[in-house]
Structure 1
Amino acid sequence: MADLNIPDAPAIPGAEHLHSGKVRDLYVLGSGDLLMVASDRISAYDFVLDTTIPDKGEILTRMSLWWFDQLRDVVDNHVISTDVPEAVRGRAVVCERLEMFPVECVARGYLTGSGLREYDESGEVCGIPLPAGLVDGSRLPRAIFTPATKAAVGDHDENVSFDAVVAEVGADPAERLRDLTLTVYTRAEDLARERGIILADTKFEFGRRPDGTTVLADEVLTPDSSRFWPVDRWVPGTPQPSFDKDVVRGWLTSPESGWDRTSGEAPPPLPAEVVERTRARYVQAYELLTGQSF
């Protein structure tokens, strides 16, 4: 497990710090509700970098809120209010406390990343057979549910079969998670495509209310949890240009950075030019999807 070196979460009056992940800090309010704050931190290769990306937390929060609004007729979400303490205004939401399902609910409409690696080895992804001859960036005949285990912070999630989800949460909840994941992905993929963006794959997290209702939680359909590609530059068989942190990954693995990914040492600080290009990608994705200026 990598030493993530996550900075201490800032103190917020009236809120008790509960947990910090790679990007988000979670607090409990006096009401018992949760305050979820998106920081400007960025992670790559299981490290939280020392360098932050200005405005990233606000962009992710705004984008998630926009998507929750687009999907409210499909699934309930965890947002209670955007009336948050002034110190975190614009980058935080008040949300419900839920019993979270211990599963990363991943939908793939295109083949790339860990799905491509599995396919190249076995012709399947998470136990789902796929047609022969697919390449990096191929559009799948239909979207597939490819769940993953939730790893500890700093460890890799591991792709698993649907049967493994059934064993973890039960048959009925597993079917509900699969159906919701694919329904939400299909709606989002259509909306994104209309706006010039391919939603190649994405990761959802769901929780359960005391009455058993399944609720969409955490962030949703952001460049941190999804692969966004420009429609007009999609060429299967080659790595796709993207609207996410590939700029950061590319620089870190280039000779210019001087960093050895296998060394176990933390990556170096990002140059200002890489920071600005990364911020610009996030802003561009937000503006294309929402039609709003940032």
Structure 2
Amino acid sequence: MADTKAAVDAAQERTKAYLPQIQAALDQLKSQSEKPPPLIADAELYTGKVRDVYKPNKFPQHVVLAATGRQSAFDRALATVPFKGAVLNQVSRWWFETTKDICENHVRASPLPDVLVAARCQAFPVEFVVRGYITGSTSTSLWTHYKNGERKYCGLDFPDGLVKNQKLAENVCTPTTKDAEHDEPISGEDIVASGRMTQAQWDECRGKALAIFARGQEIAASRGLVLVDTKFEFGLADDGTCVLIDEVLTPDSSRYWLAHSYEARHAAGQEPENIDKEFLRLWYRERCDPYKDEVIPAAPDELVCELSRRYILLYELITGETFDFQAASAAVDRPAVLAECLAGL
């Protein structure tokens, strides 16, 4: 624990020195009045909460996922975070590679820091939320339902007496629907009954989600982190194989706490130290009702820059690599780089 704490402390200090560079990038984002051109002109484009998803007409076997700096929570856009797209894509790439022995994935190439080229799959309309702790602040979080008196969640029974941020007796898979506007908790039984997945598909993907999460917890612990919860997505490849898709164990899809202070802070009834977007959620929760208020406060620059720093901190702790600011902000002909990549696959 002492060695991992020292490594985390060193990374904290190193990434704090990045803040002026992050602020400069944020200033540049604010000054941009025009939306950048699409990466692929001849493609079906879906603009998600965080990613722009292209389905190129000339390459029907591939899909292009461009991660952006858009920060979303509570079913609404909150801010644009510098370098976030590159961090999300590169953290995902690292985890896809690290877990491919557990489950095949859709990755084919990453020609740009924030862009992933993947095999086109039929995504299941389900998010596999895996939890090792009871926590959260959103309407779908386990803690929100539990504190309101519910003891059955996603078809699973939870005992009385649990407190927020407590470690669960075992990791659990608590899926949600995957909808355009708002996801809802659902049980595995209802997933099968509704035709979203077959029983065999549900059993296979649930097992792989739990196995990947356990691998992630082990690796995170060796980096001085607690992997608290996450969400996975799976899809069907052309041959009918279930494959891991979308993103893996990113600070957008997951909660990470600092391990060295968790026990003491939990015993004192304090929130754990986190390096994901939960601190942004809590900032909004303290100032408004982000689900109901039509107008909410704008996230201050200091908060946005700190979120960017935390995302970069997680990237460096997990991968052991130094974040490449130059590559993430290089002025290149992005459509041309991507077109060359697609042509070579």
Contact map agreement 1:247 1:274 (CA 8 A) in 2? no
Q: Does 1:46 align with 2:52?
A: no
Unmatched runs of 5 consecutive residues or more in structure 2? 1-33, 324-345
Q: Distance in 2 between matches of 1:149 and 1:221?
A: 19
- The one of 297, 315, 330 aligned to 1:286: 315
Q: Does 1:36 align with 2:65?
A: yes
Contact map agreement 1:23 1:38 (CA 8 A) in 2? yes
Relative distance call for 1:97 and 1:278 in structure 2 (3 A) is same
Residue 173 (structure 1) shift: 0.8
Q: Distance in 1 between matches of 2:170 and 2:191?
A: 21
- The one of 124, 149, 171 aligned to 1:101: 124
Relative distance call for 1:207 and 1:122 in structure 2 (3 A) is same
Q: Which residue of 1 aligns with 2:329?
A: none
Q: Which residue of 2 aligns with 1:175?
A: 203
- The one of 3, 6, 11 aligned to 2:38: 11
| Higher percent of residues as helix | 2
Relative distance call for 1:131 and 1:247 in structure 2 (3 A) is closer
Residue 11 (structure 1) shift: 1.6
Contact map agreement 2:125 2:179 (CA 8 A) in 1? no
Aligned length: 277
- One-letter code of the match for 1:93? L
Matches within 5 A, 1:79-228: 79-83=107-111, 89-113=112-136, 114-120=141-147, 121-152=149-180, 155-167=181-193, 168-228=196-256
- Structure with more contact order per residue of length (Cα contacts < 8 Å, sep ≥ 6): 2
Deviations 1:80-129 (A, max 9, x none): 1113xxxxx21001111101111111111111122123333133332212
Residue 265 (structure 1) shift: 2.2
- One-letter code of the match for 1:156? H
Q: Distance in 1 between matches of 2:295 and 2:201?
A: 39
Q: Which residue of 2 aligns with 1:4?
A: none
- TM-score, normalised by the number of residues in structure 1: 0.88
Q: Distance in 2 between matches of 1:263 and 1:246?
A: 19
Give the superposed CA RMSD. Answer: 2.0
Q: Distance in 1 between matches of 2:312 and 2:270?
A: 25
Structure index of larger Rg = 2
Does the residue aligned with 2:70 lie in a helix, a strand or coil?
coil
Q: Distance in 1 between matches of 2:307 and 2:126?
A: 29
Q: Distance in 1 between matches of 2:317 and 2:42?
A: 35
- One-letter code of the match for 1:158? E
Contact map agreement 2:40 2:54 (CA 8 A) in 1? no
Residue 27 (structure 1) shift: 0.9
Deviations 1:202-250 (A, max 9, x none): 1000000121111100011001101111111214354322111233223
